[in-house]
Amino acid sequence: MDRLDLPPAPAPGAILEAALYVTDLEAARLFYADLLGLELFQEVPGRHMFFRLGAAVLLVFNPERTAEPPSNPRLPVPPHGARGPGHVCFAMSREAIAQMRARLLAAGVAVDAEFDWPNGARSLYVRDPSGNSVEFAEGWLWES
């Protein structure tokens, strides 16, 4: 896409929601709600679960169901979805990352990677039951 000659527009200030697509919603519930402790606040069985993280929301979808056309004319959300593993990163303090690591290992979740970035921020990576990459990182990771 070529650069467009358009008037300036305000850039978004934050991500309000992010979506992951899973093969097994019940396994995802056990992982995100029971193991990670995220607040499940909305669910349509067989279709999706929504988890609150402060002002943001993690949307966890069954990709087969989100590919279907909308059935409610008041909520005309277009069909969407993805296949294959995605990625999400949760901000946590270094101490909380260490506690989460211990909890994940005790639950039998393997660690994919853990390291300090060149700026010193810590990251821990695991996989959810559908193979999505789940990262826990210090919130200042992207600061220079």
12: in domain: no
pLDDT tens per residue, range 38-52: 999 999 999 999 999
**8 in a structural domain:** no
Q: Kindly state whether residue 75 falls inside one of the protein's structural domains.
A: no
**Residue 133 CB neighbours (<10 A):** 16
In sequence order, what DSSP letters do the residues of 37-94 get, joined into one string?
--EEEEEETTTEEEEEETTEEEEEE-HHHHTSPPS-TTS-PPP----S--EEEEE--H
Who has greater pLDDT, 10 or 137?
Answer: 137
| Averaged pLDDT for residues 17-39 | 96
Residue 98's domain is classified under what CATH number? 3.10.180.10
